[in-house]
């Protein structure tokens, strides 16, 4: 699937630049190991080691990265179960990709035949799960970084869902007035791993705009919104978002776990809240029988009714 040309810079798949690879074996064989000369065992004769900068480790598939990212690399199969098949990520992708198990839970809230917009798609984790797990679901994946879109295209091909996702390089806030969908997924940048040091993560800390502004833009597309948020987010402020509509939106919040550890907070708004009528009725209205889903998606993306 080629990225959609929206009169913005669009990355062609032939121009993808892969992350630097450097495969080395850092283990020494027993034959290479030598005994320490007795003279060096004397502390007086030992040379002090020079102070080194931040420790860096070699991750075989991805090259040199910081030890902070090495922690995420050890969890690579929780991010993408098919990681060994050629998954590509930049350094930011390591700590911003939604764990696959959580992304699948998000996708389960959508109904078959729906259109989903992933507004800050990154390397494609959530977009892939929506396209993979929901029959007839079509995803519009948007990111302002062409390199991330390139990685997302590669990753979608690995999961075999590239034909169910339209990839767009562009600014979500500029594109939003022209978009239509059944569900909007929001996982705006949290500011990197340093977010964990904040005791109470307020909505004004989100980038590139505060959480209230991001939500209001998404709300003009659809009231059915999924937000994946830091585990230390201010819950009261998240609940306030439901009151930005009149009447207020249905609201639900849950902790998102992987192997018993809380990875984030997911907030659901609109019909996708448990116990609501659901999106099935909405899908009956917006999806015409007999029209291929990809054609329907393209028409609705451009704002045409059918």
pLDDT at 48: 52
pLDDT at 275: 67
pTM: predicted TM-score of the whole model, two decimal places: 0.71
pLDDT at 296: 38
Q: What is the tens place of the pLDDT at every residue in 111-170?
A: 999 999 999 999 999 999 999 999 999 999 999 999 999 999 999 999 999 999 999 999
pLDDT at 65: 56
Rounded Cα distance between 238 and 251, Å, is: 9
Q: What is the tens place of the pLDDT at every residue in 205-221?
A: 988 899 999 999 999 99
Question: Which of 92-96, 192-196, 210-214, 273-277 is the most confident on average?
Answer: 210-214
CA dihedral 122, 125, 126, 128 (to 10 degrees): 120
| Within-domain flag for 304 | no
Could you tell me the two tokens for 117?
Answer: 């917009």
Average pLDDT over residues 235-252: 91
Average pLDDT over residues 71-99: 91
Rounded Cα distance between 52 and 30, Å, is: 27
| Within-domain flag for 32 | no
| Within-domain flag for 23 | no
| Within-domain flag for 25 | no
pLDDT at 261: 84
Q: What is the tens place of the pLDDT at every residue in 35-60?
A: 555 444 555 544 555 444 444 444 55
Tell me the residue range of the domain where 175 lies.
69-269
Rounded Cα distance between 235 and 265, Å, is: 9
> Which is it for strands 225-229 and 251-258: parallel, antiparallel or unpaired?
unpaired
pLDDT at 247: 86
pLDDT at 62: 53
| Within-domain flag for 35 | no
* CA 274 and chain centroid, separation: 23
Q: Please give the tally of structural domains in the chain.
A: 1
Which helix (H) or strand (E) segment holds residue 296: the answer is helix 293-301
Share of the chain above pLDDT 70, in %: 67
What's the mean per-residue pLDDT of the chain?
Answer: 77
| Within-domain flag for 17 | no
**DSSP, res 223:** S
Average pLDDT over residues 187-196: 78
pLDDT at 86: 96
> 122-154: string of b/e by CB count within 10 Å (b at 16+)?
bbbbbbbbbbbbbebbbbbbbbbbbbbbbbbbb
| Within-domain flag for 131 | yes
State how far the alpha carbon of 291 is from the alpha carbons of 74, 113, 169, 304, in Å: 44, 11, 27, 14
pLDDT at 39: 47
- The enclosing domain of 78 has a CATH number of 3.40.50.150
Q: What is the tens place of the pLDDT at every residue in 275-300?
A: 665 444 443 333 333 333 433 344 34
Q: Which residue spans within 44-136 are E strands per DSSP?
A: 56-59, 63-66, 115-118
| Within-domain flag for 256 | yes
Could you tell me the two tokens for 76?
Answer: 């690579």
Rounded Cα distance between 179 and 115, Å, is: 11
């Amino acid at each position: 699937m080629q990225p959609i040309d929206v009169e913005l810079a669009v990355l062609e798949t032939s121009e993808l630049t892969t992350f630097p690879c450097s495969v080395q074996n850092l283990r020494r064989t027993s034959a290479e190991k030598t005994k320490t000369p007795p003279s060096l065992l004397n502390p007086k004769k030992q040379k002090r080691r020079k102070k080194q900068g931040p420790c860096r480790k070699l991750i075989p598939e991805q090259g040199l990265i910081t030890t902070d990212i090495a922690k995420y690399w050890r969890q690579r199969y929780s991010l993408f179960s098919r990681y060994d098949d050629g998954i590509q990520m930049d350094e930011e992708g390591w700590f911003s990709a939604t764990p696959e198990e959580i992304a699948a839970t998000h996708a389960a809230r959508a109904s078959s035949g729906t259109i989903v917009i992933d507004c800050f798609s990154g390397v494609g984790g959530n977009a892939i799960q929506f396209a993979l797990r929901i029959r007839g679901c079509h995803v519009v994946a948007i990111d302002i970084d062409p390199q991330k879109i390139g990685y997302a295209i590669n990753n979608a091909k690995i999961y075999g869902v590239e034909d169910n996702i339209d990839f767009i390089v562009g600014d979500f806030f500029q594109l939003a007035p022209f978009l239509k969908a059944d569900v909007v997924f929001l996982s705006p940048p949290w500011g990197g791993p340093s977010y964990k040091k904040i005791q109470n993560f307020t909505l004004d800390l989100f980038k590139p705009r505060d959480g209230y502004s991001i939500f209001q833009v998404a709300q003009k597309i659809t009231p059915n919104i999924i937000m994946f948020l830091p585990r230390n987010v201010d819950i009261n402020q998240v609940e306030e978002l439901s009151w930005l509509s009149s009447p207020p939106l249905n609201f639900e919040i849950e902790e998102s776990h992987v192997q018993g550890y809380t990875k984030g907070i997911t907030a659901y708004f609109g019909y996708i809240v448990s116990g609501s009528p659901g999106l099935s009725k909405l899908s009956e209205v917006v999806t015409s029988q007999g029209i291929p889903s990809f054609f329907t998606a393209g028409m609705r993306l451009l704002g045409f009714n059918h």
